[in-house]
Every structure is written in structure tokens, then in C-alpha cells.
Chains A and B, each alone.
Chain A
Amino acid sequence: MKTRSIASLLLTTALTFAAAGVASAQDKTVKIGALSDQSGLYADLGGPGSTLAAQMAVEDSGLAAKGWKIDIVSGDHQNKPDIGTAIARQWFDVDKVDVIVDVPNSGVALAVNNVIKEKNGVYINSGAATSDLTNAQCSPNTVHWTYDTYMLAHTTGQALVKAGGDSWFFLTADYAFGAALERDTTAVVTANGGKVVGGVKHPLNTPDFSSFLLQAQASKAKIIGLANAGGDTTNSIKQAAEFGIVKGGQKLAALLLFLTDVKAIGLETAQGLNFTETFYWDMNDQTRAFSKRFAGKMKNNAPPTMVQAGVYAGVRHYLKALDALGGNPHDGVKVVEKMKSMPTEDDLFGKGEIQPNGRTIHSAYLFEVKKPSESKGPWDFYKLVGSVPGDQAFTPLSESKCALLKK
């Protein structure tokens, strides 16, 4: 009896080791975690739409037919760094997640960045804006897709200063993102001969901006820079119209504006706003085809925002890298190195590359919101007014403080 149980124990052990050996050679299982604000002020620009984008990327990759097994889980960080890091830790420790995607809200994004580095996972951020993710706080496990505060400052900000907007007043969301956007835009304004005459930091998710708008009005600055996002931006713009700010000769700079924000403000109020995005659903046949498929699966038939498009493109590229590796090594640094070594190309962002600091480089586009009379459909909002090539839009490597570049 005793010998038999020992024998079976040995057999089991041997089998386990054998299985483990196979797994490391060509393990074809992947688990993707879509971490986002699922119900708050950023839920429409990321949220459930980002999870859908990740699912579509998995389907379109065709890896299932090659024997890969890819699962997606989603989580709600509620815009709280502590909740975001707790979910990330659980995903790595218990659920064996390989890659975390999306993560809007720069405060949460930076906190999660540290966890992913510690756990050697892969981080494909599309939702957060802070340029610190690929600059001072860069990580060998991180790829930052879609946009960042440096890009926003050097496109929208620069264009406005050059058009004569040489005095600025900032309305800034009081957390990591707002601070980064204000910092990067201030640098552009002063470098181009303009000056910042004042600013006010407002708490995240503020329903009423009238006090702040009155201060901006009193400052007599030519440009009121909105260093905020989502619901905060829509409320600022709507209430600025109410207080006659634009009619009084001051101009609003929506430094970060998403498709869903324009929908929420309505064209009547939003018309004429200039801003920058890296993706719009109505750019070409490929983007239209993708957006049609995407909208068909969304509850409110919304086409993808640039954040959701970035999640799709990022996951596609990640899966291409895994396919090229021939299996999942479950080693974040290794996979990200592979991703950086391959040029990026997809239907949504076109051709690009991932720089050594983790920054994905692709074109950025300057848009203007259409007049209600020019809009032909429920999501027909933007007019293209210009484009900036990727190498001019994003931080030049020579200016980057990323430690990865010093090797």
C-alpha cells in the first residue's frame, strides 16, 4: 500500500514537471486585463468600450485558429489609485494576468505602472495622458499608446500660441494628469513667447465651474486652457458659453477633448473648438469599417474614441509580438522588447514605431468641431484641419529623462 502511494506520488511529480517543461517551451495561453473607469466620468471614453476593443483585437488577430487560448478580464478602478493597484496585484498574483491595458486617469496609471514593473507584466496604456509614463517614470514593461500631455501641448497648445494666443489662464484638474498637462503646455507657451497669467486648480469631478470661470474671465487672458478631461471638460465648456466667455473675446483651449465629450456638449455649444486627437472614426475606409463593427456591438451605438482605438491597436501589436515569439514566455520585459523591435502597423493608426522609452509614435491630427449645419449624422463631429507627423508630436528622445535611454 505504502509503496504504491509513493510510486503514484513520484509519477504525479514527474508528470507535473513534464507539463511545466512543455509550458515554458510553447505556452499559448494569454490573459488580458482591461483596467478602466467603468462607471465614472471617464467610463465613456474608455470603460466597457475598451474591453470590447480588446476583445475585437483578440478576434481579429486570428491567433485562436493557431491554437492560442486568450482570455480577457475587466476591472473598475473607480479613479482611485489604491483600488487600481489592488486589482492589478490580484490579477498578477491570483488570476495570472499577463498584460494590463487601457487604464485612464494618470494618477491610477502611474500607480499601476509600478505594480506591473514589480510583477514583470506587460502594460499597454492607452487611456492615461501623463507623459511621465515614458519620461521620468518610464519602465521596461510599459508601452504608452494613443496620446500624452507632451503631444497635446505641442499640437493644440502650440497652434493656439502661434495664432496669437499669447496669454494663458489654466483651469487644471487637481491631480497628476492636470499637473502634467499644465506643465507641458506652459513650457510650450513660454517657449513660443507667450506668458501664463494665472490659473486655478479644481478638484476632479467638479459639477460647477462658475467660480473658476469668473476668475478666468477676470484674468483677461486671451486663452483659457482647460487642463482637464471628460465630464470636467464638458462642464467647463458648457458653462463658459453660459457666462459669455467666448463672446467676450476670450478663447477656450480644450487641450484634451474626446468624441464622447463633443457628443455630451452638443454641437451647438462645441462648434469651432480646436483640439488634437490621434484617431477619429471617419478618417478613411479602414477606420470607418472598424468603427462600424465596433459601434454595432456598443449599447449606445457609439463609434470608438481614440482611447478605445488605442487599446485595439495596442493589443493587436502585443499579440503579433507573442506570435513572433512562438509562445507566451510570461516575461513582461521580454515581450515588450519584442514589441519595440517590431514596427507598428494597423488599420486605425497606420504605420508607427515604439521608441526605447515605451512611447508609441504615430501621427496626430488637429480637428475642429463642425457647425450643427455641417454635421450629417449622429457622430459626424470633426473637420480635419491639419496633421502633425509622429516624430514632431511626441517627446524627442533627446529631451526624454527616461532611465532606459541611458544604457
Chain B
Amino acid sequence: MQALYAQLLVGLINGSFYALLSLGLAVIFGMLNIINFAHGALYMMGAFVAYFLLNLGGINYWWALLLAPIIVGIFGMILERTMLQWLTGLDHLYGLLLTFGIALIVQGVFQNYFGSSGLPYAIPDQLKGGMNLGFMFLPIYRGWVVVFSLVVCLATWFLIEKTRLGAYLRAATENPTLVRAFGINVPRMITLTYGLGVGLAALAGVLSAPINQVRPLMGADLIIVVFAVVVIGGMGSIMGSIITGFALGVIEGLTKYFYPEASNTVVFVLMVLVLLVKPTGLTGRAA
């Protein structure tokens, strides 16, 4: 029983990464109608920016948590301005192919310079060590990841669903022409939204840097699972992607305990089941 509690907690930790990443994807899909395959590469860039900030600029983890999402977010906004915006109104496939290509190029460039094994990034001193919970030894850093990402997820949900800015945003997706008539700069808002989604990916990258290796392919390995999470949760549903992210982390954690060989595939099995029963995803609305 103790082992089970421990696995549940570990599942929540992985779930936080799924939640942060799928949230970014959901925001981008919901507002821009783009299936952002570059999300994994941008997550990786977040981790690399944190690494560079520390090793070249001596800027610590806490600043990286703020700066890396901004830097990568700006990179994302440049992508949106120069490339993605021309795809508005076209079939989803075009956006998917373009962002997939961008991901391959970005990963290739990083791999060329940094190899595939990755670079070490230490846990910040304040979060080193762990505490004994009785049923498991919880590294403080992992606890921090769960709490912090939960706060960020809820804040994003609040921003989009409950504020005036979020209302403009949702209105702009429904009917851009009408929203423009009210004097709102829709293209700029779309760019900022993409920047926000990308920033969330970069933030997840910084959070994961001390746990995993900072590797060029760290995002490529994760992104497919995250897409499955988004599909299960329902494309474009903010709360759906948060809840599914955490839930699937837990389910994956339990699989690692009961039948480890299937831990890679359990998410996809669930995805197939959900698609068979409810093709719009658990919380998605019919298009």
C-alpha cells in the first residue's frame, strides 16, 4: 500500500509536465487552430536557455524560470509573425507540417552542436535534498515541480476563461472580423497567444532541466505522449488538458508499478479507447 502512494505521487510529478505542455498545445490549438508540432522542440529550447543562462551568464535557476519562457516566447512570436500567420484559414495539415519541419530543424541544429547525450544542470541549492513522508522519500525539487506547475496551470486557465482579455481572445477565435470592428488588434493578440503557449513549453523545459538531461531530443521523446494527452482531454479544452495531464501521469505511474513493460504504451491504448467512445475527447465539444 505504501508503494502505491509513492507511485501515485510520482505519477503526479510526471503529470505536471504533461499538464504544462498539453495546456500550451491546447491554448495554441484553441486560439490559433494550429497543431503545434514544434512544441517539443520549444520545450527543449527552454531547458537549453536555462543551461546557457547558468553557464555563460551565471544567471541562476530562479531567473531562468522567468527569463527562459520570455526568450523562447519571443522566438515563438517571431515564428508566428514570419511563418505561421500565413497559414490562417488553411487546413490543419499545413500547420502541422510546417511546425513539424521547424521542430526537425531546431532539434537538428542543437544536436549538431551538443550531441545526443545531453548536458548536466544541477538542482538549485534551495531545493536540494528531500523529506521522508513515511511511505516514500520525496525529493524537494519534485514536490516543487508539482506545486508550481499546478499554480501556473490554474493561472493560465483563469486568464483565458475568467478575465476580460481572455474573453477578447475567445471572441477573436469565434469571429475575428467582428472583434476587429470593436477596435481590437486581432493579429497582435494571436501572436501574443502563441507566445504564451510557447512560453509555457519553455517553462516546462526549465522545470525539467534538473531532473532529466538537457538533451536536444528531450522534447521529441515527450511530445508524442503529450499529443495523446491533448487528444484524450479534447483539443482546445483548457481545463480538460490540465486534468488529463495530471490523470495520465498517475495512470502511467501505476502502470510502471504493475506492468512496467507497458508503461510506454498505456497512454496510447487509452487514447484509442477514448477515440472509439468519444471522438471529441473527454471534455471536448463537437466541432
* Inter-chain contact B218/A207, CB cutoff 8 Å: yes
Interface presence of A288 (CB below 8 A): no
B2 contacts which chain A residues (CB < 8 A)? 218
Interface presence of A40 (CB below 8 A): yes
Rounded to whole angstroms, the CA-CA distance of A284 and B192 in the bound complex is 58
* Inter-chain contact A211/B253, CB cutoff 8 Å: yes
Interface presence of A220 (CB below 8 A): no
Once A40-B217, A242-B141 are accepted as A-B contacts, the answer to whether A264 and B13 lie under 8 Å apart by CB is no
Contact string against A for B residues 127-138, beta-carbon threshold 8 Å, 1 for contact and 0 otherwise: 001100000110
Interface presence of B101 (CB below 8 A): no
Using CB atoms and an 8 Å cutoff, list the residues of chain B in contact with chain A. Answer: 2-3, 6-7, 10-11, 13-14, 111-120, 122-123, 129-130, 136-137, 139, 141-142, 211-213, 215, 217-218, 221-222, 253, 256-257, 260-261, 263-264
Rounded to whole angstroms, the CA-CA distance of A211 and B259 in the bound complex is 11
* Inter-chain contact A235/B141, CB cutoff 8 Å: no
Once A39-B116, A44-B115 are accepted as A-B contacts, the answer to whether A201 and B260 lie under 8 Å apart by CB is yes
* Inter-chain contact B118/A234, CB cutoff 8 Å: yes
With beta carbons under 8 angstroms apart, the residue of A215, A231, A248 that contacts B116 is A231
B211 contacts which chain A residues (CB < 8 A)? 208, 238-239, 242
* Inter-chain contact B217/A266, CB cutoff 8 Å: no
Interface presence of A299 (CB below 8 A): yes
Nearest chain A CB to B92 CB, angstrom units? 27
* Inter-chain contact B7/A230, CB cutoff 8 Å: no
* Inter-chain contact B130/A231, CB cutoff 8 Å: no
* Inter-chain contact A174/B116, CB cutoff 8 Å: no
Nearest chain A CB to B144 CB, angstrom units? 12
Which of B11, B13, B141, B263 has the most A CB atoms < 10 Å from its CB? B263
Q: Identify 19 new A-B residue pairs, CB closer than 8 A, beyond the known A174-B261, A202-B256, A268-B120.
A: A41-B116, A44-B116, A45-B117, A201-B261, A202-B260, A208-B212, A210-B10, A211-B256, A214-B7, A230-B117, A231-B117, A231-B213, A238-B211, A242-B123, A242-B130, A243-B130, A244-B139, A264-B117, A299-B113
Interface presence of A205 (CB below 8 A): yes
Interface presence of A300 (CB below 8 A): yes
B10 contacts which chain A residues (CB < 8 A)? 210-211, 214
Name 20 interchain pairs, CB-CB below 8 A, sorted by A. Answer: A43-B116, A44-B117, A206-B264, A207-B212, A211-B10, A214-B7, A215-B257, A218-B2, A238-B211, A239-B211, A242-B123, A242-B139, A243-B137, A243-B139, A244-B129, A244-B137, A260-B115, A261-B117, A266-B120, A299-B112
